């Protein structure tokens, strides 16, 4: 089958490098997102429980402003970056599923700068439903 495709591609007069499905598996070359995720520390994810101050459904990103109690016991406002409305719509989010005042839990990859914010990996809503943040952002590595 692959041989025949190769032969056919050659017959069409187009130089196509040898096909290698295995290579394409992990590296489809799809642009990941609006920006690189290098500013977030995905290797040291943290869990925060708090109260939603605002939920902004916009491009290039959706944002949750969350007031949460940190490890030191002090209350702090965190900015949680989510994917964009398109990616989130396609994995079942709704533009109004988070509201100010909601008690939610998030797992984030914190900003490497140490500022109170990060990239969402997973959110648990007041009704217990759990949502990821789409394939480009990657999964939560903690529970």
Partner 1 sequence: MLQITRRNSSSMAATCVLAAVCLGVAAPALAAAPAAQPAAPASIEGSAAAVHGLTGTWNRYPQLGEAPDPKLPPPPPPVAPPPLKAQYKPDWNAKQEAIKEADARGEPPFTDYVKCLPDGMPTMMIAMFPMEVLQTPGQVTIMQEAYNQVRRIYLNEKQIPIEDAEPGYWGHSVGHWEGNTLIVDTVGIKPTVLFRGVPHSDQMRIHERIEMLRPDFFEDHITVEDPVYLTAPWSFTYAYTRLPHYKMLEYVCDSNREYKDPKTGGTRMRIGGH
Interface positions with partner 1 (CB under 8 A): 1-2, 4-5, 7-8, 11-12, 14-21, 23-25, 27-39, 41, 54, 56, 58-61, 63, 65, 77, 79, 81, 84-87, 89, 111-113, 115-117, 135-136
> Which residue, 29, 7, 11, 31, is CA-closest to 19?
7
Rounded distance between C-alpha atoms, residue 109 and residue 117, angstroms: 8
Q: How far is the CB of 136 from partner 1 (least distance, A)?
A: 6
Nearer to partner 1, 80 or 104 (CB): 80
Q: What angle do CA 93, 99, 66 make, to 5 degrees?
A: 100
Nearer to partner 1, 14 or 143 (CB): 14
Q: How far is the CB of 59 from partner 1 (least distance, A)?
A: 5
CA of residue 137 relative to chain centroid, distance: 3
Q: What tokens does 3 get?
A: 């041989």
Q: How far is the CB of 140 from partner 1 (least distance, A)?
A: 15
Nearer to partner 1, 8 or 73 (CB): 8
Nearer to partner 1, 29 or 128 (CB): 29
Give Cα separations from 43 to 46, 116, 142 (angstroms). Answer: 10, 17, 10
Residues 6 or more apart from 70 whose CB is under 8 A from it?
Answer: 48, 76
Q: How far is the CB of 19 from partner 1 (least distance, A)?
A: 5
Q: How far is the CB of 137 from partner 1 (least distance, A)?
A: 10
């Amino acid at each position: 089958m692959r041989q025949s495709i190769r032969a056919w591609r050659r017959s069409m007069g187009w130089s196509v490098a040898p096909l290698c499905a295995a290579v394409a598996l992990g590296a489809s070359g799809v642009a990941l997102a609006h920006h690189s995720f290098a500013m977030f520390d995905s290797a040291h994810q943290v869990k925060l429980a708090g109260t939603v101050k605002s939920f902004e459904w916009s491009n290039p990103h959706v944002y949750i402003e969350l007031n949460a109690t940190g490890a030191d016991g002090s209350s702090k406002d965190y900015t949680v970056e989510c994917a964009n409305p398109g990616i989130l719509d396609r994995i079942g989010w709704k533009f109004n599923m988070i509201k100010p005042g909601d008690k939610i839990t998030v797992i984030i990859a914190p900003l490497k700068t140490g500022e109170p914010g990060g990239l969402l990996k997973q959110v648990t809503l007041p009704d217990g439903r759990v949502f990821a943040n789409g394939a480009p952002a990657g999964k939560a590595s903690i529970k």
